[in-house]
Chains A and B, each alone.
Chain A
């Protein structure tokens, strides 16, 4: 059941429509203007990355879209319905896996089933399938501290997908991983996404990751962040490990660098 009760084709993602979203944390003298105002539109099934300097409000944007923090100004509609409570049909992945250390890998994923009271059998089958696709088979009964950083993040992705949400929100999910793992996991995520076409809002610091994964990259300015550029990435999928194979890649990357330079985020002499 979706919160708004509307029907959407089962295999597409949700749409996001944000108008004039602004976030100020706190009130009075301690008030901190963290974000915006920004407009944010994501089509169903689209893969959109947010890239921008540290502190510009990327994580804040994600929390607002998830309905976990309230907008100070502006409004956000998910599938045309204004957000008023935490979005339930969503999967979230944070930078540091945030697995529960007291649950094994599989039980971390099955937490979704327990809390949402979904069918145990069905969810377990889906979890197993996700484990296989993510190369986690055999790791089911290990605790997070018994897994490598890459595996933990894969478990965290499985947890975000097992209940088949219409939207995936990822906040620098691969930020803590080494370059080799990051490239592989990026590809694995892309394959999963191609299969299911969830709407993805992907936050990253990495230009390569943004270009390597997205349909569209939104570039944000220094905090309080605004969206200063939008780049449509027209590269065939699935994209290769080495993105330099595409001449276009250099152009896309160049465009982000130039934007950052113009904004004074990079101060190279």
Chain B
């Protein structure tokens, strides 16, 4: 196998894991509250800008900037749910979708206005920009990205299996009224879902921002989460991870094809070809739930 291909595969896994992470964040909201959040990509953007701003403005260590960003995103997630989405409960799905699209446009414009349209590099975080793993030159941020992705996935697994709030969320996703009959507050669950989703997306946003610099291109990264989650099945957390990996790999293999065959920009559109294909042959995705039917 040539080194270029190997490098692309590694990239594919690393980027794919990030898609998976953002995909999980997206699925979390969808599962808990049946809202298709078209502003998911903007969470990455906001997170990255906030982190960039705290670091460049106050010149504090990365860890602190990162923590401030998480707190900010938590509050923002709750606020959006309470102020914007809660009043829409019971409205037609299309209205809710229009509102999240509106949110997406609003945040994009706001951030462009506040931070300009040019990509800004993060201050340097790692002493050594790259390290050698198995003879492969890998950027340190990529290694960090892998760690962060795996950590978030593990945290999700624990959260939904073992924590009280996680169980309450799954119950709410399955049957809202039954959940309420157990004393679960659906409002609380919705707000928590948005808060976690915003925080997790922001983490991905910061990671991508550290690699590529912060710019509105980040929300395009967020858009590629759609092929990932639709491939995995909109309501499956595991599906989001698998879908993210597949899209990440596909994209990078397409890049290989681009370079080898000179077909033009396959890398950019391959995920969306995949999206169309999936919708045609397997509309519920690989892991989308079919209800348990028993008589």
Q: Are A and B co-members of a single complex? A: no
A interface, CB within 8 angstroms of B: none
